[in-house]
A and B are shown apart, each in its own frame.
Chain A
Amino acid sequence: MKKLRTDQLQSGMVVAKDIMDITGKLLVAKEVTLNEPLISRLAQRETDIVWVKSDEEEISLSPKEIEGIKEEIRENLEKRFHLVAQDPIMRGLKERMFDYLVERRIE
Chain B
Amino acid sequence: MKEEVIKRVVDGIVGLPTLPVILDKTTQMLDDPDVSASDVGRVIVKDQSIASKVLRLVNSAFYGCQRQIGTISQAVVLLGFNVVKNIVLSVSVFETFSQDSKAEEFDKYRFWEHSIACGATTRVISRHLGVKDPEEAFVGGLLHDIGKLVLEQFLTEEFLKVLHLVKEKDISIYEAEEEVLEISHAQIGRFLAQKWNLPQALEETIAFHHNPTSAEVQLKLVSAVHLADTIVKGMGIGYSGDDLVPQINRRIWDGLKLDLNLVGGWLKEIGDEVEKASGFLSLLKE
Given A80-B233, A97-B267, A24-B68 contact (CB < 8 Å): yes
Interface Cβ pair total, 8 Å cutoff: 75
A87 to B4, CA, bound (A): 37
User: In the complex, are the beta carbons of B260 and A92 less than 8 A apart?
Assistant: yes
Q: Within 8 Å of chain A (Cβ to Cβ): is B199?
A: no
Q: Which of A48, A96, A101 has the most CB of B within 10 A?
A: A96
User: In the complex, are the beta carbons of A48 and B281 less than 8 A apart?
Assistant: yes
List, in ascending order, chain B residues with CB within 8 A of A96's CB.
260, 263-264, 267
Tier of interface size on chain A: 20 to 34
List, in ascending order, chain B residues with CB within 8 A of A100's CB.
264, 267-268, 271
Q: Within 8 Å of chain A (Cβ to Cβ): is B245?
A: yes
26 contacts between A and B (CB under 8 A): A22-B56, A22-B61, A22-B279, A23-B55, A24-B59, A46-B56, A48-B281, A49-B275, A80-B245, A83-B172, A89-B248, A90-B245, A90-B248, A92-B260, A92-B264, A93-B230, A93-B234, A93-B264, A96-B263, A96-B267, A97-B231, A97-B234, A97-B235, A97-B267, A100-B264, A101-B235
Q: Which residues from chain A sit less than 8 Å from chain B, CB to CB? A: 22-24, 46, 48-49, 76-77, 79-84, 87, 89-90, 92-94, 96-97, 99-101, 104
Q: With contacts A80-B233, A83-B244, A93-B260 known, what are 12 further pairs, Cβ within 8 A?
A: A22-B57, A22-B282, A24-B59, A49-B278, A76-B236, A80-B244, A89-B250, A92-B264, A93-B248, A93-B264, A96-B260, A99-B264
